[in-house]
């Protein structure tokens, strides 16, 4: 299907000229001769690309306003602005607001076609990237049947009927952003913006600008995360990293539902749902005067805890199966033959948690989709062993070689049984069958070795 281009210009000669150039290249063309016609065409159906003249028939409305209309509907729809008498300031403003390019009249046929083709190609690549990212992140689900994950799922379900603020706590890589997205997706705000402010990535002097936005002497405005999230959801990731002084201003916004941009004098009113996340214990930071207690209580209306992957190893087979299906589909390769009984998957500490497991599956999916299970097991061992597994084995050997035989055997038995229990999700009967022991004998052995129930 041919791409459709909307040409907006109040000069009939320019309108006809540009339309004919585009039609010669097999583009479908719609035109608008004034502001109202243009607005009607934009609202009727967004084109694949819009070419908009700056100056139109209305004194108080111009091409910049139409540019805003297009980008608000779909930021990936490219817009080329044209003008015969625009200032550098207007050109800069157009690009800042999302225009792909700004062209001065008169322009050649080659120039306009060059920009049109480049803009369409850029839009195509961005849309493809968005699709991949959506598959990789936004559409990922909370996978697992462990008690901790089932509890999180139930809380998310209950939160869909609530506007409560949520504080998600958990180590890096446990899926805090994913949980926040699920809460947003299930809420009444799901069609409104979901904005992420990663406090850990900001420089100390830029927090307030990124949160509240800024006004400049020339009249331009930089919108902050609060304003961009209006009517939707704002996730402040690693909220603990916000400087102590800035925390007071965040608290004031939560109380008043309004703020002023930097260098601004006008109150900006916002209606947002705030979700915060942290890999640090905010309660401990409050006790050490590193986080405001009043802000903590405002954020912690609905606490949600995500546990490390090493605490829910029974979910590892489900996660592997899920990730290999998703990632093989995204990368267009067959699913790899991953042995979910590989001991390394259960003895490894997973410091990067679910994100690290996903990365492992992705590497195997891309590099070893046609390999046998035994070869993939070797790859898993090579990837995981250099970290905790080798260190654990080294410590175990050191303990064994410096201990009497009875003590050394006890060390090995304990490590072996813990690994088998994890592989069998803490199921005593299955573990006993696998290792060839009576269930009652295994119970006695676990008690003797001081091994408590493994979930």
At 35-94, the pLDDT tens digits run 999 999 998 899 999 999 998 888 778 899 999 999 888 888 999 999 887 678 888 888
229 & 173 share domain: yes
Q: Count CA atoms within 13 Å of residue 198 on its CB side.
A: 5
pLDDT of residue 96: 86
As given in the structure block, the two tokens for residue 21 are 């150039």
- Token code pair at residue 380: 């898993």
- Whether residues 233 and 183 share a domain: the answer is yes
Q: Which residues of the chain have pLDDT under 70?
A: 1, 86, 129-140, 368-373, 385-413, 415-416, 436, 453-455
> Is 92 in the same domain as 174?
no
| Residue 423 placed within a domain | yes
CB within 8 A of 309, min separation 6: which ones?
Answer: 173, 174, 315, 316, 350, 353, 354, 356, 357
Q: Do residues 33 and 158 both lie within one domain? A: no
Same domain? For 250 and 330 the reply is no
The CATH number of the domain holding residue 17 is 3.40.50.2300
Q: Which helix (H) or strand (E) holds 116?
A: helix 109-133
pLDDT at 129: 65
* Distance of alpha carbon 355 from the chain centroid: 12
Residues 80 and 58 in one domain: yes
In this structure, the answer to whether residues 114 and 166 fall within a common structural domain is: no
Q: Give the per-residue pLDDT at 140.
A: 63
Number of separate domains in the chain? 3
Q: Is residue 455 part of a domain?
A: no
User: Does 122 fall in a domain?
Assistant: yes
265 lies in the same domain as 302: yes
Residue 313 included in any domain: no
Same domain for 292 and 390? no
152 part of a folded domain: yes
Q: Which two tokens stand for residue 396?
A: 């175990």
Instruction: Show which of 87, 107, 131 is a domain's final residue.
Output: 131
Whether residue 330 sits in one domain with residue 267: no
Segments forming the whole domain that contains residue 415: 326-449
Residue 319 lies in a domain: no
What pLDDT is stored for residue 80 in this prediction? 96
The CATH code of the domain that includes 161 is 3.40.50.300
Distances (CA, A) of 343 to 176, 317, 381, 415: 27, 12, 9, 11
Q: d(Cα 264, Cα 273) in Å, to the nearest integer?
A: 24
Q: What separation in angstroms does the CA of 152 have from each of 148, 306, 357?
A: 6, 8, 20
Instruction: Give yes or no: residues 46 and 157 share one domain.
Output: no
Can you give the pTM of this predicted structure?
Answer: 0.60
- Taken as a whole, the chain contains a residue count of 455
Token duo for residue 212: 């509240």
């Amino acid at each position: 299907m041919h791409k459709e281009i909307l040409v907006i210009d109040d000069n009939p000669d320019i309108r006809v000229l540009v339309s004919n150039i585009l039609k010669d290249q097999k583009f479908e063309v719609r035109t608008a001769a004034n502001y109202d016609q243009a607005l009607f065409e934009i609202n009727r159906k967004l084109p694949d690309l819009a070419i908009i003249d700056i100056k139109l028939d209305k004194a108080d409305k111009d091409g910049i306003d139409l540019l805003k209309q297009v980008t608000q509907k779909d930021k990936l729809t490219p817009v080329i602005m044209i003008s015969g008498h625009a200032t550098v300031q207007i050109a800069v403003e157009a690009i800042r607001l999302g225009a792909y390019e700004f062209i001065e009249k008169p322009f050649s046929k080659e120039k306009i076609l060059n920009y049109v083709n480049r803009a369409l190609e850029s839009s195509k690549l961005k849309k493809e990237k968005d699709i991949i990212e959506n598959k990789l992140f936004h559409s990922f689900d909370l996978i697992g049947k462990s008690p901790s994950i089932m509890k999180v799922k139930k809380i998310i379900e209950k939160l869909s009927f609530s506007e409560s603020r949520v504080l998600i706590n958990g180590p890096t890589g446990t899926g805090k952003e994913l949980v926040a997205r699920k809460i947003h997706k299930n809420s009444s705000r799901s069609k409104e913006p979901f904005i992420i402010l990663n406090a850990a990535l900001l420089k100390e002097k830029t927090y307030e600008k990124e949160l509240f936005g800024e006004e400049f002497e020339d009249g331009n405005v930089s919108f902050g995360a609060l304003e961009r999230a209006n009517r939707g959801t704002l996730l402040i990731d690693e909220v603990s990293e916000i400087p102590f002084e800035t925390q007071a201003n965040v608290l004031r916004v939560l109380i008043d539902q309004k703020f002023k941009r930097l260098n601004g004098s006008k109150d900006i009113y916002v209606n947002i749902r705030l979700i915060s996340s942290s890999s640090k214990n905010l309660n401990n930071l409050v006790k050490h005067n590193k986080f405001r207690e009043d802000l903590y209580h405002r954020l912690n209306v609905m606490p949600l805890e995500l546990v490390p992957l090493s605490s829910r190893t029974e979910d590892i087979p489900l996660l592997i199966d899920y990730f290999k299906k998703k990632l093989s589909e995204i990368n267009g390769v067959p699913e790899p033959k991953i042995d979910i009984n590989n001991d390394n998957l259960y003895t490894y500490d997973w410091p990067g948690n679910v994100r690290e497991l996903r990365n492992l599956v992705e590497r195997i999916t891309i590099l070893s989709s046609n390999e046998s299970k035994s070869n993939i097991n070797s790859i898993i061992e090579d990837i995981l062993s250099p970290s905790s597994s080798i260190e654990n084995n080294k410590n175990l050997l050191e303990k064994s070689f410096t201990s009497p035989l009875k003590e050394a055997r006890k060390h090995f038995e304990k490590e072996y049984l813990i690994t088998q229990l994890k592989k069998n999700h803490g199921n005593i009967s299955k573990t006993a069958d696998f290792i060839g022991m009576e269930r009652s004998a295994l119970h006695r052995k676990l008690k003797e070795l001081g091994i408590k129930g493994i979930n």
